[in-house]
Structure 1
Amino acid sequence: MQKSSLLLAIALAWAPLTWANDVTINGTGVSVEANKAPVHTAKNPQAIAQLPQDYRFAVPGKFTVAVAALNSPPLTVFSDDNKTLLGSEVDIARLVADSLGLELNVVPTSWEDWPLGVASGKYDAAISNITVTKERKEKFDFATYRKDSLGFYVKANSPIKSIANAQEIAGLRIIVGSGTNQEAILLAWNEENKKKGLKPFTPVYTKDDAALTLALQSGRADAFFGPNVIGAWKAALTGKTKLVGSVDGGWPKAAHIAVTLKKGGGLVEAVQTSLNGAIKSGDYDKVLNRWGEGVERIPASEINPAGLGD
């Protein structure tokens, strides 16, 4: 790879936030600058009454939430101070905190850290694009807040026209997050292909968004498979990628993204009531719509519904 191409790929991966101030995704115009202003909702007496009297919040008086420490708009994006996290995940966390009469305490963390952090009580919850799965329900409680839609994205000039089923991943090098439901879907498809004598796919794991972009644009990977809203944002922002297929996050069934809580900790009912109150008031729609995620809205929050693997 030529040095000039390498520098261009890195520049695109670490483009300033101002590049993303006006983006249209899923037919909705999104302004990061305008979305710095938080969306609040009213206290929910019913939700507050459901809080266990003996529950000890990680930080007294605050709802402490683990959120991905990534520039992955529209889910999470650092403000221009490079410290404050914005995005739909933070906004959802704020709706729950407001409903419970608590101050929001957002803690940027890694994907690897949130499970132990939630289980140990370091965090009251994790809101990090976490899909409900059969395996995760053994250790955590879930209150859903968004549909899980996944997308396959390739370079804009890629000859690949479609990736939407097991047969179409055969022989491809696909960027995917380790330990995610996306990876689980690809591995299941790969097993199908092995039985049919098709070429295996090769998973490509990257450390961050810069490495992801570089791998795709340099040709070291054929496609990226991840949250559709993240892929749609990048495609709209740079014009360097395109969508070639989408899959439900709970393939072969639908699955939802959920606020993730300690199993049996006693918070899930209050969180569900908080979310349903925000849905009823319209504040939930304000959050999703302003980040271009209205297509993934749900009519009501559910506790521990069927998910990937059920």
Structure 2
Amino acid sequence: MTKRLALISAIAGGLIAATAGLGYTASDDFDLSPQQKDRVRAEKSEKAIEAVSKDFKFISDGKLTIGLNPGNPPLSTYATDATTVVGYDVDLAQLVADSLGRELVLVPVTWADWPLGLQSGKFDAVISNVTVTEQRKEKFDFSTYRKDELGFYVKADGPIKSIKEPKDIAGLKVITDPGTNQEKILLAWDKQNVGNGLKPIEVQYYDDEAVKYLAIESGRADAVFSVNATQAYKAKVNGKTRLVGTVSGGWPITAEVAVTTRKGSGAADGITEALNELIANGKYKQVLDRWNLGSEAIDKAATNPPGLPNS
């Protein structure tokens, strides 16, 4: 059964006030300062530079221009000055720029606008949690850098201990995001359960993050199933939810997110080489751990690997 719940601004305000009263802030666990004094840096890699096609034209001489979508901590968000963009995607972009011997330039872009922005030459590459799919590979090249992982999160002191497979969600009230892979997976699991005679789930949707987490706190929902990276960040910051299971964003097959470049532009191999050197020297893992994303590490970056099939 699917149920769309109305948003209540007064409730959202109450949750924000309650969370503030606990004394938790993002800066307690993550450096959101514009200075980013602990940012990991890398040395220039001649091998990575040589792997970039001589025909590739950077947007600006001596610079690497990266498009990214702020607003999804810890991947990318605005610092305490409300101007500087910080986060895992920014740190990874810095490492790639360092490896290619270039100054990093960041261009904030909405999720809906990155494909056109990349194709029209507004930036050299996009680092914004873009999953490799066969459909996207028709227009873009990819250099993988992180697992596409979804997570089930529940109330920190609640009774649910593990959600690993379809039967574990039978009869639960689960919040997810409409029109996403996680919704598709959740509904597929529910269909399988019902076919096996198990109780159906109640799917809930919220447009407001504060109301979403109030639903978990109040018991109106049992779990949130969404992007693991952002959920892990929230759990670390407020201590009110905890992870009880992860699922690949491409379930039942594995999916990865990647640095995205223009199709046939010649940049992907150089970026992939840079990423593999960063994996080998440990700087890649340092950045993941800095943002509480160590569980999403990959063993090797690849250029244009098999992506999620066309639906």
- Which of the five TM-score ranges fits, normalised by the shorter chain? 0.7 to 0.9
Name the residue aligned to 1:186: 186
CA drift of 1:258 comes to 1.3
SS where residue 111 of structure 2 aligns? coil
Unaligned runs of 5+ residues in structure 2 are 1-6
- 1:206-217 counterparts in 2 under 5 A? 206-207=206-207, 209-210=209-210, 212-214=212-214, 216-217=216-217
- Whether the 8 Å CA contact 1:35–1:290 is kept in 2: the answer is no
CA spacing shift, 1:111–1:165, aligned 2, 3 Å: farther
**In the alignment, which of 25, 28, 31 is matched to residue 22 of structure 1?**
28
Name the residue aligned to 1:126: 126
TM-score, structure 2 as length reference: 0.80
The yes-or-no answer on 1:243 pairing with 2:249 is: no
CA spacing shift, 1:303–1:279, aligned 2, 3 Å: same
The yes-or-no answer on 1:44 pairing with 2:50 is: no
SS where residue 42 of structure 2 aligns? coil
For each residue in 1:257-305, what CA deviation from the matched residue of structure 2 results, as whole angstroms up to 9, or x when unmatched?
2112222222111110111122233322221222222232223211122
CA drift of 1:65 comes to 1.7
CA drift of 1:220 comes to 5.9
SS where residue 235 of structure 1 aligns? helix
Q: 1:298 is matched by which residue type in structure 2?
A: I
- 1:62-141 counterparts in 2 under 5 A? 62-73=63-74, 75-141=75-141
- Whether the 8 Å CA contact 1:10–1:214 is kept in 2: the answer is no
CA drift of 1:94 comes to 1.0
SS where residue 226 of structure 1 aligns? strand
CA drift of 1:198 comes to 5.9
CA drift of 1:171 comes to 5.6
Q: 1:64 is matched by which residue type in structure 2?
A: T
- Measured in 2, the distance between the counterparts of 1:218 and 1:140 equals 44
The yes-or-no answer on 1:153 pairing with 2:159 is: no
- Whether the 8 Å CA contact 1:249–1:308 is kept in 2: the answer is no
CA spacing shift, 1:241–1:140, aligned 2, 3 Å: same
Name the residue aligned to 2:255: 255
Report the number of matched residues: 303
- Whether the 8 Å CA contact 2:34–2:84 is kept in 1: the answer is no
CA spacing shift, 1:22–1:2, aligned 2, 3 Å: same
The yes-or-no answer on 1:9 pairing with 2:15 is: yes
Name the residue aligned to 1:225: 225
Name the residue aligned to 1:27: none
- Measured in 1, the distance between the counterparts of 2:73 and 2:88 equals 10
CA spacing shift, 1:22–1:203, aligned 2, 3 Å: same
SS where residue 49 of structure 2 aligns? helix
SS where residue 93 of structure 1 aligns? helix
Once structures 1 and 2 are overlaid, which stretch shifts more, 58-67 or 201-210? 201-210
RMSD in angstroms over aligned alpha carbons?
A: 3.4
Give the fraction of aligned pairs with identical amino acids, expressed as a percent.
Answer: 48
TM-score, structure 1 as length reference: 0.81
Once structures 1 and 2 are overlaid, which stretch shifts more, 246-255 or 183-192? 183-192
